[in-house]
Structure 1
Amino acid sequence: MKNNITRWSLLLVVIAGISLAVIYRDQLDASVLEQWVQRAGTAGPLVFMLIYAIGTVFFLPGSVLTLAGGALFGPVWGTLYNLTGATLGATLAFIVARYLTSGWVEKKTAGRLKQLKDGVEGEGWRFVAFVRLVPLFPFNLLNYALGLTRIKLSHYVIASYLCMLPGAIAYTYLGYALKEAVGGEADIQEMIQIGIFASALLAIVAYLPRIIAHLRRGPTLQVVDLKQKIDQGEDLLILDVRTPAEFIGEQGHIASAKNIPLEALAGRMDELAEYLEHTVAIVCRTDRRSAKAAQLLARKGYADVHVVRNGMTAWNKADYSVER
């Protein structure tokens, strides 16, 4: 009984905090934060990190806080304070979600949702690292969502801290650059250098999803290797991304293949959720559409994606059985 009262009280605090943050979020800007930090004196950095942590729990815009950290403390210390505050807040949200839903999630999740949850838990820190480097979901919401899994707290904290670093550096430096530009404290040459460096950092962060997607996409798969995996009964998904007409047409299709045309794949990702941590072999007529589908799946977090080289053309040439 006492446990339930504590949980309900904590839930009400979180809901009230998020509601207030949404209502008054327009009143939070760098000037207000600067006043609070200055009033705190030598404890200013601690106050800032505490505000950042609480803001993360209550869904305050992290971009405003990160830019403010760069403007207040510079690119080096600002990055440290931003990253520490964000990680503290992410950890608090993770713990709150785990405490509030302890046992309930395990009892209620079933079907595809359970398979998705099991896949995330199986990936563990690697999944945390991926979603931190490639922000597929809103940061504040993701912290609570990951708390619903059984990912180890230590793995969550370490992976979050390390993999949020590139973004923290880029946006902290941007906040510092904006302050220098508005304040006019740097000469023109220095401002150009600051602007170029800030732009380069942002470009690197923007390009990270493509880099990670490329790394998560496995090597191409020869048809002979695919046939061997099928014969050995391996648990894999054969995804045929041709049109329905092609799927049942002249070339036929592999018996166990699932047909989702490339054009419809983005809108039908939920049908593949159970294969998030399984091997996925993608086929088309050759391998051009398969390569595009592989990039899409890798960006969505699928861990073991392979393009079948030369697709159904090579499969038929090898005289393997097909269905039409």
Structure 2
Amino acid sequence: MKKWSGLLLIAAVVAGLIVLNQTVLDLSPERIRNWILSFGLLAPILYVMLYTFRPFILFPASVLSLAGGLAFGPLYGTLLTMTGATAGAILAFMFAKKAGAKRVEAKLGKRGEKLQHQLEHNGFFIVLLLRLVPLFNFDLISYAAGASKIRLLPFALATLIGIIPGTFAYTFLGFSTGSDSAETIVLAVTIFAVIFIIPMLFRKKIKSYLQGRAQENESP
């Protein structure tokens, strides 16, 4: 009974956050940009803090990244977004460590268990690969890594390096939506397509590789 009550409470909170975002707050990148910039010199700090705690408020990282590009431009926005995203990943990682591996494993499901097993044997490389090619949800990787035996430094470093291309693509795309230059918009869309489409072409090969590595690690 307690188990079902907890699940119902979590479902209610998630549903409430989704409804609040879609019907009341209407948190578009433009509105987020305007709100963040209203804090003046504190705007960059506020943005990084929002991104750091984003994994716990169920807010889409893509929307926040686009807002960062609109607010701070492609270069400064990329640096701030990388800082916040890495800090958020570390926070989720540490939360999983504190929560206990068994409890986190139960929440992650079968996909999370397989991912966790791979992380324990090829931590840095697997995290780097999955940050570059989004086979799994960004936050799922962080929580699964925290439940595994990978150390914080390799995880954080792999995350920081791996998110560079995608972060720049999103922030530059966000910046371009506020630009009057057709060339800028076309360039941003092209960069976004190249960075996200090309890695997806190797999705099956990467999955096969990860499965092969998992089988090798499971064999005596």
Normalization by structure 2: what TM-score?
Answer: 0.76
Which residue number in structure 2 is paired with residue 208 of structure 1? 199
**How many angstroms apart in 1 are the aligned matches of 2:135 and 2:174?**
23
* Alignment check: 8 A CA contact 1:133 1:209 kept: no
* Paired amino acid for 1:64: V
Deviations 1:29-62 (A, max 9, x none): 2243234323321111000111112223322111
Higher-Rg structure is 1
Given the superposition, is the C-alpha separation of residues 23 and 148 from structure 1 closer, same or farther in structure 2, using an over 3 Å criterion? farther
Question: Is 2:218 the partner of 1:302?
Answer: no
Superposed counterparts of 1:125-136, under 5 Å: 125-136=124-135
* Paired amino acid for 1:195: I
Which residue number in structure 2 is paired with residue 193 of structure 1? 183
Which residue number in structure 2 is paired with residue 152 of structure 1? 151
* Alignment check: 8 A CA contact 1:70 1:173 kept: yes
Given the superposition, is the C-alpha separation of residues 99 and 118 from structure 1 closer, same or farther in structure 2, using an over 3 Å criterion? same
Count residues in correspondence: 196
1:25 Cα deviation from its structure 2 partner: 2.5
Which residue number in structure 1 is paired with residue 73 of structure 2? 74
**How many angstroms apart in 2 are the aligned matches of 1:140 and 1:304?**
21
* Alignment check: 8 A CA contact 1:66 1:171 kept: yes
Structure 1: tracts of 5 or more residues without a match: 1-13, 107-111, 182-190, 214-294, 306-324
Identical positions, percent: 32
* Paired amino acid for 1:63: S
* Alignment check: 8 A CA contact 1:59 1:140 kept: no
Question: Is 2:18 the partner of 1:22?
Answer: yes
Structure 2: tracts of 5 or more residues without a match: 1-9, 106-110, 213-220
**How many angstroms apart in 1 are the aligned matches of 2:33 and 2:211?**
46
Superposed counterparts of 1:81-92, under 5 Å: 81-92=80-91
* Alignment check: 8 A CA contact 2:118 2:126 kept: no
**How many angstroms apart in 1 are the aligned matches of 2:83 and 2:14?**
21
Deviations 1:89-112 (A, max 9, x none): 111111111211256679xxxxx9
1:19 Cα deviation from its structure 2 partner: 5.9
Deviations 1:239-297 (A, max 9, x none): xxxxxxxxxxxxxxxxxxxxxxxxxxxxxxxxxxxxxxxxxxxxxxxxxxxxxxxx73x
Higher relative contact order (CA 8 A, sep 6+): 2
**How many angstroms apart in 2 are the aligned matches of 1:124 and 1:152?**
8
* Paired amino acid for 1:300: K
* Alignment check: 8 A CA contact 1:57 1:92 kept: no
**How many angstroms apart in 1 are the aligned matches of 2:166 and 2:185?**
17
* Alignment check: 8 A CA contact 1:128 1:156 kept: yes
Which residue number in structure 2 is paired with residue 162 of structure 1? 161
Which residue number in structure 2 is paired with residue 37 of structure 1? 36
Given the superposition, is the C-alpha separation of residues 153 and 301 from structure 1 closer, same or farther in structure 2, using an over 3 Å criterion? farther
